[in-house]
Structure 1
Amino acid sequence: MTMTRRTAAEFLGTFWLVFGGCGSAVLAAAFPQIGIGLLGVALAFGLTVLTMAYSVGHISGCHLNPAVTVGVWAGGRFPAKDILPYVVAQVVGAFAAALVLYVVAIGKADYSLAVSGLAANGYAAHSPGQYGMASGLLIEVVLTFFFVLIILGSTDRRAPAGFAPLAIGLALTLIHLISIPVTNTSVNPARSTGPALVVGGWALQQLWLFWVAPILGGVLGGFAYRAVAEEVSEKPAITGEAKPST
């Protein structure tokens, strides 16, 4: 696939992730009587990744996330020269989705961006559960670490074929179930940047955390999987032929 097609797939996939995930939080989570709540929002984020993994995974790898792109590089599965085009496509896709979501949201007479937000990520006063910066930083590092670990493991050629999207989608659902109360869940700098650019103010001031923590977690996850799972060639004493260690 050409880089143009791969970045187009990343743009579309990240648009779907932000529009579907953040859209469920903004439009449906607190809807009177039939709101989907935290569980519904967590499931929505997982479903966006699952559906896109089957749709564009064979085109771009379906990263949809700068932390995943950098983590896959750290895991030895992605060239450094392709990181920047992927990240740009992901951020632009997230911003486009946030803009479209905002246009939809203001169609409701009592919607206020200042009050209702746009599912932006935050800590301290802007954390859903009023968790501080240290809690937000730690949980974003830890959860992104395991997210990248799961991605690398489920897409390993030695893993059962065809099930990676399910594992990745369910992992993202679980991640949201854990951390929506803490930071509104990022583990994805692009997902955080899109809404923050529309909301402005505090969301932009706190955006640094949602780049630093996921990128750090992604890199650590990539290195960890590589250290644990990488095959090592050995030279048997009798045949002299290399074979993978078990």
Structure 2
Amino acid sequence: MRKYLTEFIGTFFLVFTVAMAAVAGHAGDFAGLAYGGVLMVMVFAGRHLSGGHYNPAVSLAAWRRGSLAGREMVNYWVAQLLAGALAAALASQLFGVAAASPLPLVRSQALTAELLFTFALAWVALLVTTAKATHGNAFSGLAVGFTVVAGVYAVGPLSGAAFNPAVAAGIGILGTLGWRDVVGYWLVQLVAGAFAGHLFRYLHPRE
């Protein structure tokens, strides 16, 4: 239960920060730093309890890599998605956050951007939080957080820079994405996470 509560808390603050900083526009051009920053501190805070995923795609990567049991992965997903939905609902109902209109996406560009940077995020997370060579390191949160920062500034205008099914669901609730786009994001994000886990196993066969 401690693992699931940790994932719930971390994902809640992740999605709430995205809602307030990016969707509401409170952080302006610094929204990427807010997104990456909250992920960084939550990884540092919860890595020893749950692995610090806060992202169903990362949990899928961890399962595929062999560091998370299948039943635990499903429970992580439930905690993460519920937390994301609650965070978006809170931002909407109490603070009046809502997108003026859905992002004007070129779907092929948006899906490719989400695929690439969700893979990068899951790949980095596996390497710095589960690999034997980096066990006990003091930089995992920085590495994971700045992967998101890089992604936001690289492809944010193309896709909204979700890189996370829980974030995609949250910004869907807030109207930033249409639900057809949310489902498309989920598919490519989960494919990216699965591939990251598979590639980790291929490159680290003894782990």
Q: TM-score, normalised by structure 2?
A: 0.90
Matches within 5 A, 1:112-123: 113=98, 115=100
Partner residue, 2:149: 173
1:219 to 173, 194, 202: 194
Secondary structure of 1:206 counterpart: helix
Matches within 5 A, 1:151-166: 151-155=125-129, 156-159=131-134, 161-166=137-142
Higher helix share: 2
- The answer to whether the aligner puts 1:207 opposite 2:198 as a matched pair is no
Q: Does the C-alpha gap of structure 1 residues 114 and 47 become closer, same or farther in structure 2, counting only changes over 3 Å?
A: closer
CA–CA distance in structure 2, aligned partners of residues 131 and 204 of structure 1: 13
Partner residue, 1:24: 21
Secondary structure of 2:134 counterpart: coil
User: Which protein shows a greater Rg?
Assistant: 1
Partner residue, 2:71: 81
Q: TM-score, normalised by structure 1?
A: 0.77
- The answer to whether the aligner puts 1:146 opposite 2:120 as a matched pair is yes
Partner residue, 2:164: 188
Partner residue, 2:203: 228
Deviation at 1:131, TM superposition (A): 4.0
1:95 and 1:195 in contact (8 A); partners too: no
Over the matched positions of the two proteins, sequence identity in percent amounts to 25
- Stretches of structure 1 that go unaligned for 5 or more consecutive residues are 30-35, 118-125, 233-246
2:88 and 2:171 in contact (8 A); partners too: yes
Deviation at 1:104, TM superposition (A): 4.0
Secondary structure of 2:203 counterpart: helix
Question: After TM superposition, where is structure 1 displaced by more than 6 Å over at least 4 residues in a row?
Answer: none
- The answer to whether the aligner puts 1:58 opposite 2:32 as a matched pair is no
Considering Cα pairs closer than 8 Å and 6+ residues apart, tell me whether 1 or 2 has the greater RCO: 2
Task: Return 63-72 or 139-148, whichever deviates more.
Answer: 139-148
| Residue correspondences, number | 205
Partner residue, 1:94: 84
